[in-house]
Amino acid sequence: MTAIQLRLRILILLPIFYLIIPPLFAASSTIKEQEKEVTEASPSGDKAPAQTSFLTKKRNITIGILSQTPQKSIKGTPWQFSFERLNKQSQYNFIPLFLTAKQLNSALANDELDFVICDAIYYLMLEKKYGLLRLLTRTEQYSEKFMTSEGLSVYTWDKNSDITRLKELKDKNIGVVDSNSSISWLFLDKFLFNHGLIDKTNINIIPIKDMEQALILLQSGTFDAIISKSGFLDKHIAAEKMENLRLINPRRGWQAPFLHSSVLIPEWPLSKAWYIDNQLANEVVSLLLNQHGNKLNETTAFFLPQYYWDIAQNYNALNELFSFSEQIEADNNPEQASWPQKIQYWISFIIICFLVAILIMYLRSSRDLNNRLTTSKESLEQEIKERQHAQEQALTHQAELAHVARLSTMGEMASGLAHELNQPLSAIHTYVQGCIRRINMGNADLDAIVNALQLTAQQADRAGGIIRRLRSFVRKGESHKTYSEINQIVSEVTGFLETQLKNKQVNLILDLEEDLPPVLADIIQIEQVLINLLKNGIESMSGIEKPSIIVTTRRCNHKYIELCVIDSGHGISKDKLKRIFNPFFTTKNSGMGMGLSISSSIIEAHDGKLYAENNTEQGARFCLTLPITEEHLGSNNNE
């Protein structure tokens, strides 16, 4: 396979890339819709409509918040307080966008998010990919303590004594409490993975939003265990005195105010996109950090948990722990895989497929080539035979075509020929009538009558000659070449066309070189060509004053005899000159357009050439060459 072919195939791939890329934008468009919805919805939900209408004129700052469950409004979520503060205290209009991991990823890919809030593990991935920079860490208040770390807690109902270790969660139904969409799913995956619960094939993970419902299901035995964010259930357990609830794999340390089954990782970071300038970032940081000093009153705080903000956490430990987080994501959460990554996979997959296809085609083509080589040898021999046969057939066809053309020429010349035949016939008739009259009148001069009868016989011969020539001209048959005198052919043909020349009052001038060697030619075919050339010449001179045709013969280079028919007609225009030998090309109203085409092939069959050119002054010339045979070539050279 050639390099060009390969290049062509690669070119074919390009349009396929373009087909794949559009879905990227589809994802981003959903974000735009959501953004629109939020901006439209916010005035009605805001406490100060007048101020909001003023705010909408401010620059919009989008903040993407990871949320596996869709949420329309910020109202009633722990984020509400932070956003209210941001929007009131700054000159910007902060728009929260709740996005799934997938949406978050594609939005970032299109630079549609100014800030991002997501869990620490997902952040690590996005940081590498999109150059995010974490500014703050979310904190939650547990009794009097603010925690900048989060963990996971696994609870079982006490009677399910068979689950004492995390490993035993295998093949069990686990309810994951995810109210406010605040659980870190990636962390959960990692946590389960570390405890031998590799994927969802050997554990049933059931997300459940409502905490109380989860507890009821646990109590009823539908769930074997529930997992929640550490500290999330503590308050509830304390209030309800649910002593039957047992924490599996309790850890200590970190002086955490809650019990937890997993290690603790930093809380969700707030990060800025790479293009956000420091001034804006500083403003956001200072506003959110000062949120501590602006607490809500106790009652509101009780019903509505709030997120607060602290400085960014050190991620060194986390980095070590979750260096393979991307791998987790890829292996365990294929549905969370980012679109660009999927596309990359698909593109490389398609490329590989194509390369393989190309390789297969190459191999196949080379195998075919081998097969063809072996068969081509046989077919080539066959083809040679066929070609020889075709050549013979072509010769026959050419002869047939020439015959048809001759018939056609005869048809065109019919009226001229009729006239030519009419002359001797009427002469015969008149002579005979004259004789009869004289004899009847009795004053017959015998000598005169004999003379008249001799003249009558001459005329009968003349008529017979015309018929003979006509018959031989339209004779059908294979071409047979004899040694012929070209000048004799010329005089025969000009005799044939005498009537036509006379009628058109064409002055015919013969300029024939004497003692030309004979040429090996089919007389009739050469006559046909000459008649054709003369007829064309005569027709080309209609409307010309004093039309004349010159026919010349001469030796050319001692190898050829050249015969030229030179007319004084209108000549041939340049574009027509190129095409006059083409079949079916004609300038006449009644012509078939085969005359010159057939003439050309006849002369070529005689190893000669037929060509046309314009005279320098007026009219055109058609010349044909016929080779002198070698024996005559030699004999004439000696002379």
When the beta carbons of 415 and 637 are compared against other proteins, the nearer one is: 415
When the beta carbons of 231 and 424 are compared against other proteins, the nearer one is: 424
462 binds other proteins (CB under 8 A): yes
x/- mask, other proteins, residues 434-453, rule CB under 8 A, reads xx-xx--x----------x-
Residues 218, 88: Cα–Cα separation, whole Å? 43
Per CB under 8 A, the list member of 311, 380, 455, 633 interacting with other proteins is 455
**Quick one: which H or E segment has residue 27?**
helix 22-45
Per CB under 8 A, the list member of 424, 517, 571, 595 interacting with other proteins is 424
Instruction: Find, among 174, 173, 172, the residue nearest to 154 by Cα.
Output: 174
When the beta carbons of 24 and 435 are compared against other proteins, the nearer one is: 435
When the beta carbons of 242 and 435 are compared against other proteins, the nearer one is: 435
Question: Do residues 526 and 484 touch, judged by C-beta distance below 8 A?
Answer: yes
Q: Phi and psi (nearest 5°) for 174?
A: -115, 125
User: Exposed, middle or buried by CB within 10 Å (0-12, 13-18, 19+), for 481?
Assistant: middle
CB of 586 to other proteins, least distance (A): 26
With CB under 8 A as the contact rule, which of the stretches 219-227, 337-345, 411-419, 615-623 interacts with other proteins? 411-419
Per CB under 8 A, the list member of 56, 366, 422, 491 interacting with other proteins is 422
When the beta carbons of 330 and 410 are compared against other proteins, the nearer one is: 410
CB of 458 to other proteins, least distance (A): 7
CB of 426 to other proteins, least distance (A): 3
Residues 506, 108: Cα–Cα separation, whole Å? 94
With CB under 8 A as the contact rule, which of the stretches 1-9, 366-374, 430-438, 604-612 interacts with other proteins? 430-438
With CB under 8 A as the contact rule, which of the stretches 15-23, 57-65, 207-215, 455-463 interacts with other proteins? 455-463
With CB under 8 A as the contact rule, which of the stretches 236-244, 413-421, 557-565, 624-632 interacts with other proteins? 413-421
429 binds other proteins (CB under 8 A): yes
When the beta carbons of 399 and 506 are compared against other proteins, the nearer one is: 506
Residues 312, 117: Cα–Cα separation, whole Å? 12
With CB under 8 A as the contact rule, which of the stretches 15-23, 53-61, 162-170, 427-435 interacts with other proteins? 427-435
With CB under 8 A as the contact rule, which of the stretches 127-135, 219-227, 471-479, 501-509 interacts with other proteins? 501-509
> What separation in angstroms does the CA of 282 have from each of 136, 289, 307?
11, 10, 19
When the beta carbons of 434 and 583 are compared against other proteins, the nearer one is: 434
Q: Phi and psi (nearest 5°) for 540?
A: -70, -10
Per CB under 8 A, the list member of 12, 311, 369, 425 interacting with other proteins is 425
CB of 636 to other proteins, least distance (A): 38
Which residues does residue 97 pair with via DSSP β-bridges, in sequence order?
Answer: 64
When the beta carbons of 160 and 548 are compared against other proteins, the nearer one is: 548
502 binds other proteins (CB under 8 A): yes
When the beta carbons of 464 and 634 are compared against other proteins, the nearer one is: 464
Per CB under 8 A, the list member of 418, 450, 457, 467 interacting with other proteins is 418
Instruction: Find, among 185, 31, 179, 182, the residue nearest to 97 by Cα.
Output: 31
419 binds other proteins (CB under 8 A): yes
With CB under 8 A as the contact rule, which of the stretches 270-278, 386-394, 502-510, 623-631 interacts with other proteins? 502-510
For β-strands 173-177 and 204-208, DSSP reports them as parallel
Residues 518, 627: Cα–Cα separation, whole Å? 10
When the beta carbons of 348 and 433 are compared against other proteins, the nearer one is: 433
When the beta carbons of 385 and 437 are compared against other proteins, the nearer one is: 437
Q: How many residues bind other proteins (CB under 8 A)?
A: 28
Residues 580, 566: Cα–Cα separation, whole Å? 16
Residues 223, 172: Cα–Cα separation, whole Å? 8
297 binds other proteins (CB under 8 A): no
431 binds other proteins (CB under 8 A): yes
When the beta carbons of 370 and 433 are compared against other proteins, the nearer one is: 433
- Structure tokens of 527? 């006559």
Per CB under 8 A, the list member of 181, 291, 459, 500 interacting with other proteins is 459
Residues of 596-633 as b/e, b for ≥16 C-beta within 10 angstroms?
A: bbbbbbbbebbebebebeeeeeebbbbbbbbbbeeebe
Per CB under 8 A, the list member of 91, 161, 374, 505 interacting with other proteins is 505
159 binds other proteins (CB under 8 A): no
Handedness of CA 571, 575, 580, 581 (dihedral sign): positive
CB of 599 to other proteins, least distance (A): 28
Residue ranges in 413-445 assigned as alpha helix (H): 414-441
Question: SS3 string of 554-605?
Answer: EEECCCEEEEEEEECCCCCCHHHHHHCCCCCCCCCCCCCCCHHHHHHHHHHH
- Structure tokens of 480? 């047979």
Per CB under 8 A, the list member of 330, 427, 474, 592 interacting with other proteins is 427
Quickly tell me which residue has 């050997």 as its tokens: 202
Question: Do residues 206 and 175 touch, judged by C-beta distance below 8 A?
Answer: yes
Residues 302, 469: Cα–Cα separation, whole Å? 129
Instruction: Find, among 597, 616, 516, the residue nearest to 563 by Cα.
Output: 516
Q: Give me the residues that bind other proteins (CB under 8 A), please.
A: 415, 418-419, 422-431, 433-435, 437-438, 441, 452, 455-456, 458-459, 462, 502-503, 505
